[in-house]
Every structure is written in C-alpha cells, then in structure tokens.
C-alpha cells in the first residue's frame, strides 16, 4: 500500500506543477487535489501500483452510483485532465474570460508563430500562449494599448501586481525578447525582468551499495524481471529519461555496432549512446523469447494482454517496488527513473569526469545545466570553504552582551 501512495504522489505532484505552470490558480489546483484524493484511496484499496487510463475508468465506475450528477461530472473532468497529462496531450482549455485584447492580437499571433519557427514543442507553445494572454490582459489594464509603449515602469507595475511571479518572469522575458527582435521595441527590456528563484532541493541519489541491492533483488528468471532489469540498467548506466525509455523502439538498438540511437522527447535532440556489455546482454535476454509476441515496436511493453507500451508512471512504480523490496530507505528521496539518472551524474562527478562530459552523457542542451551537477560534488565544495572571520563591530558587542543567554 505504501508503495502505491509514494508512486501516485509523484504523479500527482507532476500534474499539479503542470497546472500551476499553465497559470491555474491555487484554488483550482486544490480542487484537482481533492478530486484525485478519492482516486488515490481507490488505488490503495485495489493495490494498484501505477495509474493508467483503465484505473481511471474503473474508479469512475466505482463512484458512479455514489456521487451526484454534478459531482460525477466534475470527477470525470479531473480524470480526463489527468489522462491527457499522462498521455502528453495537454489539452487544457484556458478559461473563456481570458482573451487577447484586439489591439494586441496581430502581435500575439506573430509571437506564437515565432515560437513554432524556433522549434518549440506544441505543449510548450500552448503553455506560453495561455500565459501570454494573461500578460497582455494585464498590460491592457495598465493602459498600454501599443506594445511599443512598454516601459520599465510598466514592466515593474505588471510584475509587482502578479500573484504568480515565477511563471510571469519567464513569459515576460520571452515575449519582450521577441518584441525587441521584431523591432517593436527599440530596447531589449527582457534584461530588466526580475528573476524569481524556485526552491532547488539537492537531487536524490543512491549509493553504489544501494543500487547493487536494487539490481540484485530483481528476479531475472521470470519474464517481468528480465524486462524490469533492462529498464533499470538503461536509467542507471546511461541516464536515459523514463520518457525516452518507454518511447524507445526496437530498431533503435543496434546490436552489431553496440549503439542505441533515439531522439530525446524533451529536447528532440538526437542521442547516440554505447550499448554497454551488461546492458546489451539484458536487452537481448529480454527480447529472446521473453518479450510478448506483438506488432508493437516499443521495446518495453506490458507483460499481460492487451500488450501496450509502458507509461512513465509504470516505470516509476516498478523502480519503487524493487527499492522497497530491497529494503532501501526511500523516505525523503525520490525513487523513480530521475533519481537513478541523478545517481549516474553523482557517480560521474565523484570520479572527476568533467561537467561538460556529464552534460553530454545526460543529453542536456543548455550549458547552464552544469550548475546542477555542482551539488553532487561535495568534496570539491568542501575545498571552497573559508574560515569564519572573528566577530567585530556592533554584532560582536551584541553577542558578547548576550553570551550565555543572559
């Protein structure tokens, strides 16, 4: 039961973060949380380890006779939105009262088209589109009717009035860059947009002893175990994201050249990685009569009919299940594919592999992502410590006066 709660909590958290990124209010997000609480209890009772569309359908059937028509309609909406999120569709509809002011419509459409031309994914464009609509409404309320009239004072006014400064800062910066690039603004005002820091927790990592326990607990004599072993090795040895693991196609594995080739779903950047001997053996063992016979080209599929590709939440669930079974303490730490990816980064950094090499191995495009890896290098961080200077001035007088709590 506890495994299920941990897995679904991660799914809910990702879903809630996405809703907030779209600009939904905290009240709306809390409404979704309440609706999904009933689903979570249902999954615990049914011992469901990971959410799927089938689970959602079963839950709706369960509550059909218990809820009023109005309540059931809202529950169906919550499940539909969750299904769309899990499938990567993101068909979230902005509230009807959010529309682009007529005076900005032409420039807004040009901005959206520019996002497409610069290679942004449709899901990203939808999110930026919704956030930009809200931004343009705020500008209109601030008596701005021509985008060339935006001034630093206007930016400060709109920013200070916002209740969601984290999302606004990114949207505002992106939109102002476009206005400067297109010649609507003579100055690049994006540089004066305040930065809002998100809380950056230290990534969850596991020791070599713990990952050894994890791998040893998998029963590779059984078919599900052979599949799961290969999945965990892909995350642990190559740092491949869970989304890319479940999307991986059989033709992407070249056993002759010992290479794996695929386009990352997050960045659409091609990735070519060496098929390490242990990983190669694990995948070949899984494919040699242990993978169900189906026309589905995805490498990893369910082991029970109807055969279909695994979901990201299913990968999180199986990793968590094996960690629990191995007796690994996961309290306070993430335990899905991203944690194994972070573990690989931690091991590489501890072995003094250059940050730039680590970045390329994990498939990051942005060189700024290297800052993330500094958190892993605790020994190097210790070498940067400086001695605490002696107390002086008013602070020293205050400490001396109140020394001992008197």
pLDDT in tens, 209-256: 999 999 999 999 888 899 999 999 999 999 999 889 999 999 999 999
For residues 239 and 337, state if they share a domain.
yes
Residues 186 and 220 in one domain: no
**Cα 380 from chain centre:** 28
Return phi, psi of residue 312, to 5°. Answer: -60, -40
Looking at the structure, do residues 40 and 160 belong to the same domain, yes or no? no
Categorize the per-residue pLDDT at 5 as very low, low, confident or very high, splitting at 50, 70 and 90. very low
Query: Any long-range contacts for 372-381 (C-beta under 8 Å, 24+ apart)?
Result: 372/203, 373/345, 373/349, 375/202, 375/203, 376/203, 376/205, 376/342, 376/345, 376/346, 376/349, 376/350, 377/349, 377/350, 379/350
Percent of the chain with pLDDT over 90: 32
Q: Which residue has the tokens 């230290």?
A: 202
User: What would the pLDDT profile of 319-370 be if each residue is shown by its tens digit?
Assistant: 988 998 999 988 778 888 888 988 888 888 778 877 778 777 777 766 666 5
**Domain limits at 254?**
208-379
pLDDT confidence of residue 87: 66
Residues 175 and 310 in one domain: no
The answer to whether position 324 is within a domain reads yes
Tell me: do 285 and 353 sit in the same domain: yes
Distance CA 222, CA 322 (A): 14
User: Residue 24: inside a domain, yes or no?
Assistant: yes
| Same-domain check for residues 79 and 108 | no
Total number of domains constituting the chain = 3
Residue 142 counted as domain residue: yes
| pLDDT tens-digit series, residues 295-313 | 889 999 988 888 888 888 7
Q: Find the CATH number of the domain harbouring 38.
A: 1.10.150
Domain-located, residue 391: no
Residue 397 maps to a domain: no
Looking at residue 327, which CATH number applies to its domain? Answer: 1.10.443.10
**Of 164, 192, 220, at which residue does a domain stop?**
192
CA distance 196 to 192: 12
pLDDT value at residue 370: 58
| Residue 392 in domain | no
* 231 and 316 share one domain: yes
Taking each helix axis from N to C end, the angle separating 26-45 and 69-86, rounded to the nearest 10 degrees, works out to 90
Alpha-carbon distance of 213 to 228, in angstroms, equals 14
Q: Are residues 37 and 177 in the same domain?
A: no
**Which domain-ending residue is among 125, 157, 192?**
192
Nearest 5°: CA angle at 68, between 64 and 69? 80
Whole-prediction pTM:
0.57
- The CA-CA-CA angle for residues 94, 95, 101, to 5°, reads 85
Q: How far is CA 327 from CA 1, 67, 324, 330, 337, in A?
A: 15, 40, 5, 9, 18
Average pLDDT over residues 63-92: 75
pLDDT digits (tens, 9 = 90+) for 373-401: 565 555 555 666 677 788 888 877 877 77
Do 230 and 187 sit in the same domain of this protein? no
Whether residue 119 is found in the same domain as residue 242: no
Helices (H), ranges, 219-365 = 223-237, 242-247, 277-287, 312-325, 337-350, 355-361
How many Cα atoms are found within 13 Å in the side-chain-facing hemisphere of 377? 17
Do 229 and 358 fall into the same domain?
Answer: yes
111 and 156 both lie in a single domain = yes
In this predicted structure, what is the pLDDT of residue 4?
43
Q: Is residue 404 part of a domain?
A: no
186 lies in some domain? yes
Q: What is the pLDDT of residue 96?
A: 47
CB under 8 Å, gap of 24 or more: what pairs does 188-191 form? 189/150, 189/152, 189/155
Q: Which of 192, 224, 245 represents a domain boundary (last residue)? A: 192
């Amino acid at each position: 039961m506890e495994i299920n709660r941990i897995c679904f909590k991660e799914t809910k958290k990702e879903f809630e973060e996405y809703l907030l990124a779209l600009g939904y209010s905290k009240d709306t997000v809390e409404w979704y949380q309440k609706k999904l609480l009933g689903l979570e209890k249902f999954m615990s009772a049914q011992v469901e380890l990971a959410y799927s569309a089938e689970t959602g359908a079963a839950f709706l059937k369960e509550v059909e006779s218990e809820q009023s028509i109005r309540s059931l309609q809202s529950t169906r909406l919550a499940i539909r939105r969750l299904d769309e999120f899990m499938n990567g569709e993101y068909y979230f509809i902005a509230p009807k009262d959010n529309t682009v002011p007529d005076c900005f419509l032409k420039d807004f459409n040009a901005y959206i088209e520019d996002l497409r031309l610069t290679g942004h994914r449709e899901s990203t464009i939808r999110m930026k589109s919704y956030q930009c609509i809200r931004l343009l409404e705020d500008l209109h309320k601030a008596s701005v009717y021509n985008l060339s009239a935006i001034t630093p004072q206007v930016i400060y006014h709109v920013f200070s009035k916002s209740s969601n400064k984290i999302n606004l800062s990114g949207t505002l910066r992106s939109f102002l860059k476009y206005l400067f690039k297109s010649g609507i603004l003579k100055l690049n005002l994006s540089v004066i947009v305040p930065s809002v820091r998100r809380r950056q927790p230290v990534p969850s990592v596991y020791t070599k002893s713990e990952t050894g326990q994890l791998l040893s607990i998998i029963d590779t004599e059984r078919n599900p175990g052979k599949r799961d072993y290969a999945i965990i090795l892909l995350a642990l040895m190559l740092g491949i994201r869970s989304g890319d693991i479940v999307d991986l196609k059989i033709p992407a594995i070249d056993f002759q050249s010992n290479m794996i080739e695929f386009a990352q779903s997050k960045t659409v950047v091609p990735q070519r990685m060496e098929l390490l001997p242990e990983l190669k053996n694990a995948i070949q063992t899984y494919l040699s009569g242990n993978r169900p016979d189906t026309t589905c080209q995805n490498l990893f599929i369910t082991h029970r009919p109807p055969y279909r590709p695994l979901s990201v939440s299913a990968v999180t669930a199986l990793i968590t299940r094996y960690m629990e079974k191995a007796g690994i303490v996961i309290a306070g730490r993430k335990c899905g594919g991203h944690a194994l990816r972070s573990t690989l980064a931690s091991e590489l950094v501890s072995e003094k592999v250059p940050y730039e090499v680590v970045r390329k191995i994990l498939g990051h495009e942005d060189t700024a992502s290297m800052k993330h890896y500094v958190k892993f290098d605790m020994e190097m961080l210790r070498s940067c410590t400086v001695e605490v200077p002696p107390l002086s001035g008013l602070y020293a007088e205050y400490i001396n006066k109140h020394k001992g709590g008197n």
